[in-house]
Amino acid sequence: MANNKPLKKVDLIFSEAFLNRDELKEVLSRSADEVIQELLDSGLRGRGGAGFPTGLKWKFTRDQKDPEKYVVCNADEGEPGTFKDREILDRVGRKVFNGMALCARTIGAKEGYLYLRGEYRFLLPKLYQILDEFHEDMKALGMDFHIDIKLGSGAYVCGEESALFESMQGDRGEPRNKPPYPTEYGFRGKPTVINNVETFVSALIINRIGAEKYQKLGTVDSRGSKLFSISGDTPIPGIYELELGMTVEQFVNEFGDGDTKAVQVGGAAGFCVPRKKFTDTIIGFEGVPTGGSMMLFNSSRSMYNVLHNYLDFFKEESCGQCTPCRVGCQQLFLGIEAVKRGEKPASYLETLLKLSQTMKITAKCGLGQSVGNSFHSIVNNFREEMIY
């Protein structure tokens, strides 16, 4: 069977290539149009999870008339089960900065920021050292671009781009109303490209190896390769760069412990895929998208506990401003407890499923909109575990 073929492992992100000044000089010599076209051709979509086409994002920002623009790298890696950005920054931090410089040159920005998750403070000395070299190279190359690092303070919602800007500005980290989008109204209200750590690296790589080569990896909807953070019931947890477009079955064959009953793809905000759906579920934008978080659960795990844990997380990490998210998360959390304890009938789960659907279509930002993903996929697939 085709989907039983072994996974294709790739080595682009962490490779030693594209690290030095000459490489940077080479890539910076390309025109903005070339860079954008290359990204569009490559089909690269944001690696943070939402998957917006990177080329379009850069193009929209480039097209803005405002002379003041920003490049922001989202390193607030907060999704439960993902730890790949930490590894990128730790091992090939320079590539991230080079990718940001490429973006800055393309859109016409003079300032860039790395918004670093507070818990990654330990990376600072190393990053500052790399930045010093980077800034020297910028000077040598005659490019006016400077990168600063801002630290987050532990709020999950600050990984949401507009909340991240608010946090960077020193305000309370609450998502904004959209539109306007960051390409038009971002950091300090100026046109801003905000991308995930991995996206900047991929954008750099694509502009070195060419879209054509990159395109060969992956599927029509999910081009290229990406990093996966693999955890849970697996004998070989860790970070792997894999070609996109595999089925969950292929994935489990490689990483499972032989007793996998479900895989949570995309973290707490993502989808839970049960064993019966392993073969026909593709990991990618045509199936279940992921920012990299892959959590495997074997038959010793209670899916009620898994969901309970996620909801506990969401009810605490909601910023609290919009009703569906703030109150909805509490209702889902307490609701499944009430069903489990027999205080509410099993049919109350239907009420909660409808509520999670409302949250999906009415919440102000991606946080509240995605709580329903895991709720739906766990409750629908493991209903008995919720009740008994």
Determine the residue type at 56.
L
CA angle in degrees (0–180, nearest 5) for 273-278-284: 70
Q: Shortest gap between Cβ of 153 and other proteins (angstroms)?
A: 11
Q: Is residue 338 within the footprint of other proteins (CB under 8 A)?
A: yes
Q: Interacting stretch for other proteins, rule CB under 8 A, among 137-145, 252-260, 268-276, 329-337? A: 329-337
- Give the one residue of 360, 373, 374, 381 binding other proteins; rule: CB under 8 A: 360
Q: Is residue 335 within the footprint of other proteins (CB under 8 A)?
A: yes
Rounded Cα distance, 383 and 377, in Å: 10
Near other proteins in 269-328, by CB under 8 A: 314-324, 326-328
Q: Shortest gap between Cβ of 204 and other proteins (angstroms)?
A: 33
Q: Is residue 330 within the footprint of other proteins (CB under 8 A)?
A: yes
Q: Shortest gap between Cβ of 329 and other proteins (angstroms)?
A: 7
List b or e across 88-125, with b for residues whose CB sees 16 or more CB atoms inside 10 angstroms.
Answer: bbeebbbbbbbbbbbbbbbbebebbbbbbbeebeebee
Q: Which tokens hold the place of 259?
A: 């007793």
- Give the one residue of 342, 361, 384, 388 binding other proteins; rule: CB under 8 A: 361
Q: Interacting stretch for other proteins, rule CB under 8 A, among 100-108, 199-207, 297-305, 353-361? A: 353-361
Cβ proximity to other proteins, 196 vs 318, nearer residue: 318
Q: Is residue 231 within the footprint of other proteins (CB under 8 A)?
A: no
Near other proteins in 127-146, by CB under 8 A: none
HSE on the CB side for 249, CA within 13 Å?
Answer: 12
Q: Shortest gap between Cβ of 357 and other proteins (angstroms)?
A: 9
Q: Is residue 347 within the footprint of other proteins (CB under 8 A)?
A: no
Q: Shortest gap between Cβ of 316 and other proteins (angstroms)?
A: 4
Cβ proximity to other proteins, 40 vs 387, nearer residue: 387
**Total chain residues near other proteins (CB under 8 A):** 36
Rounded Cα distance, 17 and 15, in Å: 5
Q: Shortest gap between Cβ of 273 and other proteins (angstroms)?
A: 21
Rounded Cα distance, 47 and 222, in Å: 11
How many CB atoms neighbour CB 342 within 10 A?
Answer: 9
- Give the one residue of 142, 170, 179, 342 binding other proteins; rule: CB under 8 A: 179
Cβ proximity to other proteins, 167 vs 207, nearer residue: 167
Q: Is residue 118 within the footprint of other proteins (CB under 8 A)?
A: no
Q: Shortest gap between Cβ of 330 and other proteins (angstroms)?
A: 5
Rounded Cα distance, 85 and 231, in Å: 15
Determine the residue type at 282.
I
Cβ proximity to other proteins, 38 vs 317, nearer residue: 317
φ/ψ of 40, rounded to 5, equals -65, -45
Q: Interacting stretch for other proteins, rule CB under 8 A, among 81-89, 249-257, 261-269, 347-355? A: 347-355
Give Cα separations from 225 to 93, 127, 161, 328 (angstroms): 19, 25, 23, 36
Cβ proximity to other proteins, 232 vs 328, nearer residue: 328
Rounded Cα distance, 186 and 235, in Å: 42
Q: Is the peptide bond before 235 cis (omega within 30 degrees of 0)?
A: no
- Beta carbons of 205 and 91 less than 8 angstroms apart: no
Cβ proximity to other proteins, 298 vs 362, nearer residue: 362
Edge-to-edge strands of the sheet including 225-232?
Answer: 238-243, 225-232, 293-298, 260-265, 271-274
Contacting positions for other proteins (CB under 8 A): 155, 157, 172, 174, 177, 179, 314-324, 326-331, 334-335, 338, 351, 354-355, 358, 360-364, 369
